Amino acid sequence: MNDSSIVSTMMPVHLSLNHFLERAGLLFATNEVISRRPDKSYLHHTYADIYTRTRQLAQALLQLGLKKGDRVATLCWNHHVHLECYFGIPAAGGVMHTLNLRLSADEIAWIANDAKDRFLIVDDVLLPLLNQFKDQCHFEKIIVVPFTGQTHGGPELDYETLLSQTDTTNFQYVEHHEDDPVSMCYTSGTTGKPKGVVYSHRSTVLHTLVGCLGDFWSLKSTDVVFPVTPMFHANSWGIPYGAMMMGAKLVFPGPHLHPEDLLDCMQYAPPTLALGVPTIWMGLIQTYENALQTQPNRWHLPKGMRSLVGGAAVPQALIKAFDTHGIWIMQGWGMTETSPLCTVSYTKAEFADASDDEKYRRAAMAGVPVPLVDLRIRDDNGLNAAWDGQQVGEIQVSGPFITGSYHQVPVQADKFTDDGWLRTGDVASVDAAGFVRITDRTKDLIKSGGEWISSVDLENALMAHSTIAEAAVIAIPDIKWSERPLACLVLKPGATLDAQELGNHLQQMGFAKWQLPDRYELLDQIPRTSTGKFYKLRLREMFTH
């Protein structure tokens, strides 16, 4: 009898971030990594330098007593040392835990304790923040990154001294399985306590491979990447891993995230790919266009640059504004729980010859699910909504780089379905071409007289008006209608508020009269969360009486 059984002949090699590090050191040794110091000077390294320093960090952590699975926290801005942590901590068998430096001291302490962080690597310019909470934590070792050149005193270790005293002649990567953890991030915690998401070698490698595909990051070794997205926010959307894998030049802005500083950095090393939340790019384009009137030659935007924008809905007006200057914005959608890339809005083949208006309309959508991510829309009855661009429901996702639980938190029905899909809390529709259009977060939808109003749609329409720089719409209680929309606005310089004109504008864009905001509140600036999103909870506290 013939034996028809067959087995794979492929090598049983585990996916590993160590491969990316070795690849960069071997193939891209002369490519640059540029970091901006606190004093705004620039520090240059090659990938050969980063390779050596990263292995020194791993060896130093082992000599300090790091054990496999121990958490090493980072409290750092975007720079070369943080990149070294991305690879050096996992190389030593540890788990990198990026602390969000924009949270309150008490929140950071709670998160560090929940993660059981054993060591901490911190920028010297952030020592004042650390001093506010370190007595609440249990860090065995604190390693300070010396950027200012000032002595800090105390029992802390100096990062550069630690590396310089470390011999990597006999260094060996700590043995691991591809499902072993490499990093963790905590959700923003706008409702309830933050929750930890733990990423593995396997999930991170797969996420990186998908992100680098042509319709998404389209990352090449000739690219100059400008990660404005914080490295403590969902691993800077995974771009540091992709840059290391492809050998792309990296330009880190350090702590300098004001529009003027970002524009200055773009002159020093013009990027071909930049990443950031919409509010960053809103401020940048306003600053740039204002300067054109008074200092037309001060800055030049890098024509042909790709910009991946996520973290909140991207107004169509912002996409048009950048396209005018030869820069195309790609909108991405995802969460800390999804590593984070889930969808990207790109030009599919059937829309290659579409009108500019149609291309802008689709660019303002969340986009198409990336490979390896399964996505469905579930309505209030738990049934799959049709992909017709009309039916809406909660986005639910599943895939190899999407979390199936939270760190030390029992699986809850409001977070995961019975069949294991992640419940995102985002409400959306999907059209026949697979484009996801996010209507709102479930907690931000406005229910007026039994009918739903999308705050996101109102915000995008308001920001399309020539007088509006920023708009955030919230629900306020109403005796008759239960809830009504209130629009919080930041006007462009020299503009004045005309509520009737705004109402006419919204109706021309398809909103019914009952959907229009009842109130408009002018603000100097809209409060933001630690990750740069509009902080609607704070707005509700301000205007709900």
Residue 239, phi then psi, degrees to nearest 5: -65, -30
Is 187 among the residues known to form the active site? yes
Per-residue pLDDT at 89: 98
Residues of the chain above pLDDT 90, percent: 80
Distance CA 183, CA 197 (A): 9
83's enclosing H/E stretch is helix 80-91
Q: What is the arithmetic mean of pLDDT over 146-157?
A: 78
Report the chain's mean pLDDT, rounded to a whole number: 93
Per-residue pLDDT at 442: 67
Is pLDDT at 388 greater than 80 in this prediction?
yes
Catalytically annotated residue among 452, 467, 481, 492? 452
Distance CA 491, CA 470 (A): 7
Is 337 among the residues known to form the active site? yes
Catalytically annotated residue among 74, 98, 187, 343? 187
Is 447 among the residues known to form the active site? yes
Asked if 135 and 108 count as a contact pair (C-beta separation under 8 A), the reply is no
Q: What is the arithmetic mean of pLDDT over 59-68?
A: 98
Catalytically annotated residue among 161, 447, 514, 544? 447
Is pLDDT at 213 greater than 90 in this prediction?
yes
Distance CA 265, CA 37 (A): 12
Banded pLDDT at 1 (limits 50, 70, 90): low
Q: Which of 49-53, 226-230, 242-246, 426-430 is least confident? A: 426-430
Please report the beta strands in 277-335, taking only residues with DSSP state E, as ranges in sequence order.
306-309, 328-334
Catalytically annotated residue among 84, 107, 337, 394? 337
Length of the chain: 545
Name the nearest CA neighbour of 35 among 290, 225, 293.
225
Per-residue pLDDT at 152: 58
Q: What is the arithmetic mean of pLDDT over 263-275?
A: 98
pTM for the model stands at: 0.86
Per-residue pLDDT at 401: 98
Banded pLDDT at 151 (limits 50, 70, 90): low
Per-residue pLDDT at 156: 92
Q: Which of 23-27, 71-75, 108-112, 413-417 is least confident? A: 413-417
Is 208 among the residues known to form the active site? no
Banded pLDDT at 425 (limits 50, 70, 90): confident
pLDDT tens digits along 292-309:
999 999 999 999 999 999
Per-residue pLDDT at 479: 80
Could you give the domains of the chain?
17-25+39-198 (3.40.50.12780), 258-441 (3.40.50.12780), 446-543 (3.30.300.30)
pLDDT tens digits along 219-262:
999 999 999 999 999 999 999 999 999 999 999 999 999 999 99
Distance CA 281, CA 259 (A): 8
Distance CA 375, CA 349 (A): 21
